[in-house]
Chain A
């Protein structure tokens, strides 16, 4: 056997291992990432890992805290002067990590640059498109005008970091002009930001090195305007294989990992490590095609899903607590809405959808489906936590009330192609509300499909209810927070009462940390090394 001799080699290797157990610098924090940022450019790809990394180096005007509530960032105050005008007061005395002062010019430059980022696969124009005018009253006061009431402007401004105009090659005066800005110079390519010379921001850390696939080094920014960061250095290593990630944590190679697999959590905790978990802004839901009859996954010329009683039956036949206990091992919360309370626009008193298979069978019988029907449930199997197994479980539960279900599980890219081609009668997916409030899931998943109003973009179930649409449109133009929240709550209640969509649970996001470290779980699922603290 070739193995015999290689084993001898391994034995001597492991003998040396004991001697070489490397001591990690006490002021260096090493993190194992589940997915690697694709670029250091904060405006390249609107994607969780990229945004989380950007938060270390570039500070946004307004910052979202762990619960996605807004806090001052580079802007200390923001107020709506009228329905379409906002005044932003910028923080004074802030310098970039290269020593340049931060002024309104950098903000204008950043907003001008966002549409110009070459090849951005998911640009941030989503969050700047409401801005119609931008003027600096002085170096530290900005007046923003919008092309209609834009109550979400502060949320939108919290999604991207501010870059240095001078480093990016802007002229001394940058003037915002909607589609055409002047004085921007040549917008730098995203790849340039992967170099420490170019990634200049006002965040708590500066870029040390970005070695794709291996390592990302951040060093403390001595010029940071806030409290001095705890760690001298943060090293992030992409460990996309969950088993390898856990092993690295247990072996002490890293001090913290993202998303430890649910089945490993008990063991990690048993070894004395800390688990931090908290509700995320992501709901896992099932969409039921209500567009046409016939519908692709159901035999015959019928579409039973157009009947709200059938949708209710399918919703009631899912045992959310069993999924939580057996599949998620406690790391999910059964859902009754599309966003967990107490986030903005949720109904805190609304319970999770109960499990009631008997009622489900009654409802099916009432709707005329005594013998049930058969259906295909589409699902990705590599995107959300335990997505494949959850779909299998739902299929079991539906089958047990008489709706014979087959699961069509695919890798995410193939799933998306099928889903967007309306090839599923029912599919499981997830939605994370980047803005952290109810108009995000309702507007995308439930509102009638209408590209002109930017509504219903992901409403592939083709649900349509003008009552919900009207409430939502009104909410999106209401700057008053209290009134807007009332409208969103009402819209959510109607959507849930008619089973426009079937929520399953909210994911809990989990981190595992070495003993003696603390991290407050974040709803936006970002891993911020700067927010990791020593327990003492």
Chain B
């Protein structure tokens, strides 16, 4: 892989005696859709926090978009987008206000923010909704908008933490088409999910168990290796051996 977007080597994080992430090594290539799976408590969130520059590792090395997680967390934050189901947009701001807020946070100029807002509202077909409060929009709309806002500053990588939880099956699939589209355009996508069918949409998938990456391959490769019909079967076989909970 030339110039991987994410490169982790023996990346480790301990909390007291507890090793949340235990010497994980992996690479994610540019434009790749990388599925980051694991049971509750396997260490996914801790790993993601290190890769997004929010948490300093205890040991090991990692670079994200070419920047070092120890020395350059602020540069990392500028080059990544982040979206989760739990936190994304401000409910009591309108669609346009949310876009403006994030544009400001990411240091875009006024002119650029205006242009981006128009583009985004058009692309999502939200012209009639642009002055509505986010809180009044259906969940599916919020999620599509949150995803677009996470991409507002044209990041190299976007981290999606369970982006589709609770969404209806059609909207969930529309969301994945958005993901395909940005990956096709070259953005790297790092995504966690509890929907095992979504793991099949990824180029490669890793499965964390008890702080380690126990499997990492293409969905087809994993199924072959574990002689399983689907990723759910692979996941259950690996995660059933887990020792620890959340």
Query: Do these two chains really belong together in a complex?
Result: no
Q: Which residues of B contact A (CB under 8 A)?
A: none
